[in-house]
Structure 1
Amino acid sequence: MATLTDTPYIIAPQPALPRLTRAVTGTDQTGRTVDLRVVEERPLTIYLNSREIVTAMTIGDYPVYLALGFLRNQGMLSDDDTVTGVDYDEELEVVVVRTAVVTDHEAKLQKKTRTSGCAVGTVFGDMMAGLDDLQLPETPVRTSDLYTLAATINRTPSLYLEAGAIHGTVLCQADQPLVYMEDVGRHNAVDKIAGWMFAEGVTATDKLLYTTGRLTSEMVIKTALMGIPTLVSRSGFTAWGVEIAKTVGLTLIGRMKGQRFTCLAGEQRLIRDMDPAEVADEPHRQSRKAAE
């Protein structure tokens, strides 16, 4: 497990998001003017020691968790690394992660893959690196927990419910949500979860990752490399995402809404302990939109 020194983490307070903006509606002939709440986007530049790694577009909250998780999910920060400090400059919008041993990642940084992630995701080096020898735990998944989580998360206050145009990712254990992160890009939200787990020393063996975003190859790869055995989404999936999930032994569940879900991989881990007929379907006023 990663070792953190006594250097304090400087985490920006939850920003006053979203901001108000003036708009004109098209629902009547008068062009009525209304005030809308819209989600912010701002750049965050991540450094590893003295090397600039990437500038990410993000909503601006939890910059330290985002930086740690991004580096962790890119294979630039491992569980064996000792983090000696994390500096966040709110004015410059820069996070610098410092480690006891400085590793040269120049070869990895030379290869960039732009992914299908919202706000344009980037993977450095070989996307499939680290998956060949991966052994995910055979943690069972109870359908009763899935139904409970879907209902609980859908009613949780969030930026999405306030303004839309944003993705949510939730780390869960059994039927309990543990950490809820949001961002304009689903990959950023996942990185924040990874950073929180890294900083807090949280194990992944018995965890489940829930997302509102599509189950693409990048989402599946990140979840697997985090060691989380189950990935659940309200949205649809891509063929490569499903193929990778089957290859690495990840339980992959999509289109989780009310009584319904589709298990694409790892179905042997499902324990059907609740009749779907007993599950209330989602009220329309609470239903989140999701990309199919």
Structure 2
Amino acid sequence: MNKKGCPEEYPITLKINGFEVAVFQLTNQDLEDWVHGYLFSEGMIQAANDIQSIQCDEDSGTLAVTLTEGFDPETIFSKKKHYTAGCGRGVTFFSMTDVKTFTKIHSETTYLLSYILKKRSEFAKLSPLYAETGGMHGACIVYPNGEITVREDIGRHNAVDKIIGHALRTNCRPEELILLTTGRVSYEMLSKAAKFGFPVIGSRTAATKQAVQLAKYLNIEVVGYLRGRMSISYSSFGRVINDLEERTAVVHPIENGF
């Protein structure tokens, strides 16, 4: 019998300019990337240099963030909290109505489906925490030259925040990137990708109906069930060229609510 280690998760309190935002369940790795990605995804910062400092107190499990500009807690905390679905507890202050106001994505870059499947396979091989425990989620970005960067976490939304934070800190151009994730693409996952500006999202599993509706509204291409030589196209804007048509499917969720 093969033995694997247990995934680790930590309750970490996020404070901004002294104000407590929430307690998050996180994997204790790449936390500065997570801070940048989460704050950007929630509209609390617009660029990496909006953060003046990040102090981590491991004894108390606290991340204390100081922003370069003043932080108005009433602007954020007056919004209703939405707890994220799935593993690892997260919170977002964006509703689906808020996400509909995001800038629509415009990109003419195209990719072969076989290329995305290949990168999905490379992503799996470059996920050490998953290999060690079998219980981690991951997110990665694929650069124009084909290289990839991976971030992992107990929560799928945390992993996406971490990879967005990395992309933000390294001045990546979102229109040139592919976002791949191991987790289900729900509306809050789609909103994070939309906020940064990814034109293509790929997942090894499904997308929810709400996420697909938002993707179609915001011009984001979503491809799910990337496994082996198979996939499902949830929204198509001509960016992913299906060169494996006989092994793929196109789904058309019911359009309502928009």
Q: TM-score scaled to structure 1, two decimals?
A: 0.77
Instruction: Quote the Cα distance in structure 2 between the aligned partners of 1:107 and 1:177.
Output: 39
Rate the CA distance shift 1:173–1:182 in 2: closer, same or farther, 3 A. same
On the 8 A contact 2:84/2:92 being kept in 1, the answer is: yes
Corresponding residue for residue 137 of structure 1: 106
Structure index of larger Rg: 1
Shift of 1:269: 1.8
Deviation at 1:87, TM superposition (A): 1.6
Corresponding residue number in structure 1 for 2:31:
63
Residue equivalent to 2:89: 120
Specify the alignment match of 2:174 in structure 1: 204
The SS at the match of 1:134 is coil
> What SS class does the counterpart of residue 98 from structure 2 fall into?
coil
Q: Which has the higher contact order (CA 8 A, sep 6+)?
A: 2
User: Does 2:219 match 1:245?
Assistant: no
The 2-side partners of 1:80 and 1:168 are apart by: 22
- Asked if 1 retains the 8 angstrom alpha-carbon contact of 2:179 and 2:200, the reply is yes
- Cα offset, 1:99, TM superposition: 1.7
- Code of the aligned partner of 1:207: L
CA shift for structure 1 position 210: 0.4
Give RMSD over aligned pairs: 2.3
Q: 1:162 corresponds to which letter in structure 2?
A: E
Candidates 95, 117, 122, aligned match of 1:152: 122
* Distance in 2, Cα, partners of 1:223 & 1:177: 19
Task: Name the structure 2 match of 1:79.
Answer: 47
| Deviation string, structure 1 residues 62-110 (Cα, Å, up to 9, x no partner) | 1111112111111111138632222222222222221221131324223
Kept in 1: contact 2:96–2:187 (CA 8 A): no
Tell me the equivalent position of 2:61.
Answer: 93
Is this contact kept in 2: 1:252–1:265, CA < 8 A? yes
SS at match of 1:205: helix
Q: Separation in 2 of the partners of 1:133 and 1:159? A: 33
CA distance in 1, matches of 2:69, 2:38: 18
What is the aligned partner in structure 1 of residue 233 from structure 2? 263
Cα pair distance change 1:52/1:133, threshold 3 Å: closer
Aligned length: 245
Higher helix share: 2
> Is the 1:108–1:125 contact (alpha carbons within 8 Å) kept by the matching residues of 2?
no
Instruction: Mark the CA change 1:127 to 1:97 in structure 2 (over 3 Å): closer, same or farther.
Output: farther
Q: Residue type matched to 2:5 in 1?
A: R
* Identity between Structure 1 and Structure 2 (%): 26
Q: What are the equivalent positions in structure 2 for 1:209-248 lying under 5 Å apart?
A: 209-248=179-218
The structural deviation recorded for 1:216 is 0.9
Aligned partner (choices 157, 169, 180) of residue 150 of structure 2 = 180
CA contact (8 A) 1:68 1:198 kept: yes
Where 1:129 maps in the other structure, the secondary structure is: helix
CA contact (8 A) 1:109 1:125 kept: no
Any unmatched runs of 5+ in structure 1?
1-24, 26-33, 279-292
Check conservation: 1:168, 1:182, Cα contact below 8 A: yes
Aligned position for 1:15: none
Paired residues of 1:167 and 1:212 also in contact (CA < 8 A): yes
